[in-house]
């Protein structure tokens, strides 16, 4: 009997529910198929860095599977619709009887999977899906009235109770099968998609690298996470988002590693703060399932649909290129453009700046982020943008508007982060780093750095007016 594991956003062999299930019958022949869909990825604005990262992760996972005697095939077609035909003919060609896959929760992905299950059942292939990319499945953390929580804190509290009642277990990597290791591996051809290289020092590809980073983080960095996580100049966060977004790492592996190093993390230990971030990740995914319109460019708070955005292309370009004249915003955008990753505090600052200083539609920012981020993930990205734009559930209230200068002063006091990314400001003294033009004027220095494109006070006023007009 032949089993197929359809690999998608779960590029690992350890703790992979569907792969583990596909291998449970020791006598089955197990095949793995990955289907690249460049036109679909383009429509979803997937970044060339993420495409490159997925490709190198795929090469890594192919080698690991080959060690176990399992071949991984990769086939390319246009989009999700075409991928169903690819899947079907692969099953026919290899006489597959059972197909195993891990759920994805975005609407296009869910529609594709429903169609795939139907088509496969027509040719007598039994499909089985698994909730693998989350600690707890969507719909399992509900209010007393069995509704999805709209506010994070009570969601998190109930979530922790559920974890106390029973931790989701990690499953093992497949055992070596007959014929292992494989001598010949199917050819992997790079996707027909723009590739952009990823900094291998920051984001080395492969499961082993991800697990090593997780271990290092939980042994050392996590203890000071509370103090350091808001300081972009410090390497104080896990930088695991890319592995979680592509499924090179599972959240269960994160949870168990954390509890192995810090058993008290679930009982009020200081390391809980990090686990709580993983719970934010869960919150946004659970929301996507409860409110699929979030995948369709819809705000959570309906009245915010009426905000009249000022879509000024010159402002949008200045923001994208890190030329707004606000040093913390510009340094952050340079980090994004160069690395494909941005520190969480900075994501909040630049998102707030785009929406509430430039009054540009948050969906423009959301899409630009996706096109750059190596860790781009619809649920977390949408959640983050809707939070910043005050259009989301449990979002910042619309009248709370970050002042980009004071945010810089609070979180990059001496300008260490700013100077790393904006060499033009190297000579500006610490006390002026957040307002370099004032210093330059006083000292008759010419800076190779743009003047602020908007006046924050004025912009704030306009934004409040625009939101208030929409709310009426
Ligand atoms: P850590 O601080 O080490 O956190 C551990 C893990 O928890 C992260 O890897 C991530 O998986 C999860 N996490 C942390 N913070 C959040 C959060 N606020 N919401 C959801 N999950 C979180 N995260 C993405 O993975 N992909 C995105 O596309 C994305 N876009 C964002 C857009 C905006 C506007 C904002 C404000 C946040 C966004 N985030 C996104 C969330 C967060 O900024 C990143 O997950 C985090 O910066 C990744 O760095 P880290 O792995 O070092 O995080």
- Whose alpha carbon is nearest atom 35 of ligand 1? 384
| d(C-alpha 76, C-alpha 53), whole Å | 17
Known catalytic residue at 9: no
How many other C-beta atoms can be found within 10 angstroms of the C-beta atom of residue 169?
A: 9
Is the beta carbon of 369 within 6 A of some atom in ligand 1? yes
Residues 6+ apart with CB under 8 A from 240: 210, 213, 214, 217, 249, 254
In the numeric block, the tokens 């929409």 are attached to 470
- Helices vs strands, H then E, count in the chain: 20, 5
| d(C-alpha 409, C-alpha 7), whole Å | 45
How does 360-376 read in b/e, with b if 16+ C-beta sit within 10 Å? Answer: bbbbbbbbbbbbbbbbb
Report the share of the chain in percent with pLDDT over 70: 100
CATH architecture group of domain 2-130: 3-Layer(aba) Sandwich (3.40)
Tell which atom from ligand 1 comes closest to the C-alpha of 225: 2
Ordered by start, the domain boundaries in the chain are 2-130, 134-169+207-290, 302-471
Largest CA distance in the chain: 79
Is the beta carbon of 412 within 6 A of some atom in ligand 1? no
pLDDT of residue 389: 97
Is the beta carbon of 99 within 6 A of some atom in ligand 1? no
| d(C-alpha 430, C-alpha 436), whole Å | 10
Tell which atom from ligand 1 comes closest to the C-alpha of 243: 9
| d(C-alpha 221, C-alpha 234), whole Å | 11
CATH architecture group of domain 134-169+207-290: Alpha Horseshoe (1.25)
Is the beta carbon of 380 within 6 A of some atom in ligand 1? yes
pLDDT of residue 344: 98
With beta carbons less than 8 A apart as the criterion, state whether 270 and 226 touch. yes
With beta carbons less than 8 A apart as the criterion, state whether 169 and 289 touch. no
Task: Identify any residues that bridge with 74 across adjacent strands, giving them in sequence order.
Answer: 34
pLDDT digits (tens, 9 = 90+) for 59-95: 999 999 999 999 999 999 999 999 999 999 999 999 9
Known catalytic residue at 319: no
pLDDT of residue 42: 98
The full DSSP string for 80-121 is HHHHHHHHHHHHHHTTEEEEEEE---SHHHHHHHHHHHHHHH
Which of 6, 41, 385, 439 does the annotation list as catalytic?
385
- Whose alpha carbon is nearest atom 11 of ligand 1? 241
Same fold: 2-130 with 134-169+207-290:
no
R_g over Cα of the chain? 24
| d(C-alpha 91, C-alpha 31), whole Å | 10
How does 429-468 read in b/e, with b if 16+ C-beta sit within 10 Å? Answer: eeebbbbbbebbeeeeeeeebbebbbebeebbeebeebbe
pLDDT digits (tens, 9 = 90+) for 174-222: 999 999 999 999 999 999 999 999 999 999 999 999 999 999 999 999 9
pLDDT of residue 311: 86
Known catalytic residue at 303: no
Tell which atom from ligand 1 comes closest to the C-alpha of 387: 36
Is the beta carbon of 278 within 6 A of some atom in ligand 1? yes
pLDDT of residue 355: 98
| d(C-alpha 328, C-alpha 411), whole Å | 9
CATH 1.10.579.10 applies to domain 302-471: yes
Q: Which residues of the chain have pLDDT under 70?
A: none
Tell which atom from ligand 1 comes closest to the C-alpha of 240: 51
Complex ipTM above 0.90?
yes
Is the beta carbon of 239 within 6 A of some atom in ligand 1? yes
Distance 35 CA to ligand 1 centre (A): 26
DSSP alpha helices (H): ranges in 340-455?
344-352, 362-372, 378-388, 404-411, 416-421, 436-442
């Amino acid at each position: 009997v032949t089993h197929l594991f359809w690999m998608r956003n779960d590029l690992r062999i350890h703790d992979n529910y569907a792969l583990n299930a596909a291998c449970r019958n020791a006598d089955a022949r197990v095949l793995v198929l990955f289907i690249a869909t460049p036109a679909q990825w383009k429509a979803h604005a997937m970044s060339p860095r993420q495409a490159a990262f997925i490709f190198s992760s795929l090469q890594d996972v192919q080698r690991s599977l080959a060690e176990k005697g399992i071949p991984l095939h990769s086939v390319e077609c246009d989009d999700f619709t075409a991928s169903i035909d690819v899947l079907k003919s692969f099953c026919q060609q290899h006489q597959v009887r059972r197909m195993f896959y891990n759920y994805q929760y975005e609407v296009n992905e869910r529609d594709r999977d429903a169609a795939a299950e139907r088509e496969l059942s027509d040719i007598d292939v039994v499909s089985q899906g698994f909730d693998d990319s989350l600690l707890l499945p969507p719909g399992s953390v509900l209010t007393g009235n069995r509704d999805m929580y709209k506010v994070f804190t009570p969601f998190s509290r109930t979530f922790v109770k559920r974890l106390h009642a029973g931790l989701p277990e990690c499953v093992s990597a497949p055992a070596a099968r007959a014929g292992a290791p494989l001598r010949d591996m199917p050819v992997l051809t790079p996707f027909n998609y723009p590739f952009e290289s990823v900094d291998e020092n920051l984001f080395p590809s492969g499961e082993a690298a991800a697990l090593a980073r997780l271990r290092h983080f939980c042994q050392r960095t996590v203890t000071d996470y509370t103090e350091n996580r808001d300081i972009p100049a410090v390497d104080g966060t896990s930088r695991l988002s890319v592995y979680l977004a592509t499924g090179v790492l599972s959240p269960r592996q994160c949870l168990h590693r954390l509890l192995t190093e810090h058993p008290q993390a679930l009982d009020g230990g200081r390391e809980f703060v990090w686990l709580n971030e993983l719970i934010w990740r869960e919150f946004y995914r659970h929301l996507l399932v409860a409110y699929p319109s979030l995948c369709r460019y819809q705000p959570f708070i309906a009245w915010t649909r009426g905000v009249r955005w000022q879509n000024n292309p010159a402002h949008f370009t200045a923001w994208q290129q890190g030329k707004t004249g606000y040093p913390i915003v510009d340094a952050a955008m340079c980090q994004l453009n160069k690395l494909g990753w941005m520190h969480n505090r900075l994501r909040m600052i630049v998102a707030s700046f785009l929406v509430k200083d430039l009054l540009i539609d948050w969906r423009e920012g959301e899409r630009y982020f996706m096109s750059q981020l190596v860790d781009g993930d619809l649920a977390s990205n949408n959640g983050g943008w809707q939070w910043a734009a005050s259009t989301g559930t449990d979002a910042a209230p619309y009248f709370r508007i970050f002042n980009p200068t004071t945010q810089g002063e609070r979180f990059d006091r001496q300008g260490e982060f700013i100077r790393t990314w904006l060499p033009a400001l190297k000579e500006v003294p610490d006390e002026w780093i957040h307002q370099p033009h004032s210093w330059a004027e006083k000292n008759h220095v010419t800076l190779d750095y743009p003047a602020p494109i908007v006046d924050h006070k004025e912009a704030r006023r306009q934004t409040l007016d625009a939101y208030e007009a929409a709310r009426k």
